[in-house]
Structure 1
Amino acid sequence: MRSDARSNRLRILEAATEVLALPGDTSLKSIARRAGVGQGTLYRHFPTRESLVLEVYGEEVEGLVTAVPALLDTLRPPLALRAWLGHLLRLGWCTPEFAEAMRSVTDTPTQACRQACEPLLDALSALVEANRATGAIEPGTTADDVLLLIGPLWRVGANEAEHMRAARLFDMLLRGLCPSGAAHATAAAEGATSAG
């Protein structure tokens, strides 16, 4: 990558980080304006909003991706899935733009959107497959199915009562998803539910 292109990319990421952290206009146009680049330049680096948002939260995404082997080494597959999904939910509650990007995967995703989310989908697929291998999850269940089920929980309000409701709904979801896998272990036992 040429030095000017690399500089533009860094400016876009810095501007996006600032814009997404503030209330108000978080459009790509606003991000391009703050970065001092044209929208064409922004789209050359980040063809979709999802690709930009997931790059902004790249550290968190990487943490989720790399956590999978350790979770499967230390927890039974249903509890590994619960812990991972709990972390994913908390990230979406704390960063609504991230939750919106993830919901786009299950709505009408473009190829670019799927590519941007591929590392997370692969990580979730590994957890789903581990559960399928032990018979803890319904055969045929995919990572996309799980994301589709999780999506509505990101829309739950931010106050404490709503978080308690979301934790209860999360438990219900996991009981349905892994009925034979004891995925409904208490949050206190596994430290994996609620937004904290």
Structure 2
Amino acid sequence: MRADARENYEHLLAAAHEAIAEHGAEASLRDIARRAGVGLGTLYRHFPTREALLEVLLRTRLDQLTQNAGELETGSPPGAALVSWFLQAVAFVRTYNGVVALMAAAIEDPESALHASCETVRSAGTRLLVRAQAEGTARADIDGTDLFALIGALGWVGDQPTFSPRAGRLADLVLGAILTPGEG
């Protein structure tokens, strides 16, 4: 990629991060291009669809969550690793209003640009959950899909102005339901 094209690409990602953090996943692509100081055609040359832009923007964060899960899996006790990762995942889905709906749709659609990243994150969370269950620190009657759905539910709560102030408390309640008594 030419240096100027690479610079435009990076500006577009930075602008998309800002716009989507402020206005959600449906932020105006025209506004993103304007913030990046490029034309709409340049945005579409780099990202032919909204999902393609979101996939690149979110993939880095999702890959980081997956990497963090691996580090926690080898470096922390199972229950503590699950709690730490769960809270990181909830913080991620709360970063961008509307990302939960995209992730929920992507996990069911193998053709989605976000499918692989979402599936990898779900698998990473599942490994942490199974490890905590084997140790007896997490309930045995939930699975990785339940965990993924609970993270999504807490992200949705954070998207709602009425409930957003309660999101931290609700995350604690959900963790209390995932962990066995005496953990957390």
Q: TM-score interval w.r.t. the shorter chain?
A: 0.5 to 0.7
After superposition, the Cα gap between the structure-2 partners of 1:113 and 1:33, relative to the gap in structure 1 and judged at 3 Å, is same
The alignment's TM-score, normalised by the length of structure 1, stands at: 0.65
AA of the residue aligned to 1:20: I
Q: Deviations over 1:3-41 (max 9, x none)?
A: 343233112112212322434871334323433242531
Q: How many residues were matched structurally? A: 174
Which of the residues 32, 41, 47 maps onto 1:43?
47
CA distance in 1, matches of 2:135, 2:75: 15
3-state secondary structure, aligned to 2:22: coil
After superposition, the Cα gap between the structure-2 partners of 1:128 and 1:27, relative to the gap in structure 1 and judged at 3 Å, is farther
RMSD: 3.6
After superposition, the Cα gap between the structure-2 partners of 1:145 and 1:5, relative to the gap in structure 1 and judged at 3 Å, is farther
AA of the residue aligned to 2:143: T
After superposition, the Cα gap between the structure-2 partners of 1:129 and 1:164, relative to the gap in structure 1 and judged at 3 Å, is closer
Residue 190 of structure 1 corresponds to none
Residue 86 of structure 2 corresponds to 85
What 5-or-longer segments of structure 2 have no aligned partner?
158-162
Aligned residues with identical type, % of pairs? 25
What 5-or-longer segments of structure 1 have no aligned partner?
176-181, 187-196
After superposition, the Cα gap between the structure-2 partners of 1:184 and 1:75, relative to the gap in structure 1 and judged at 3 Å, is farther
Residue 165 of structure 1 corresponds to 170
Residue 143 of structure 2 corresponds to 141
Q: Deviations over 1:54-80 (max 9, x none)?
A: 15xx3x545433322442334332331
AA of the residue aligned to 1:115: A
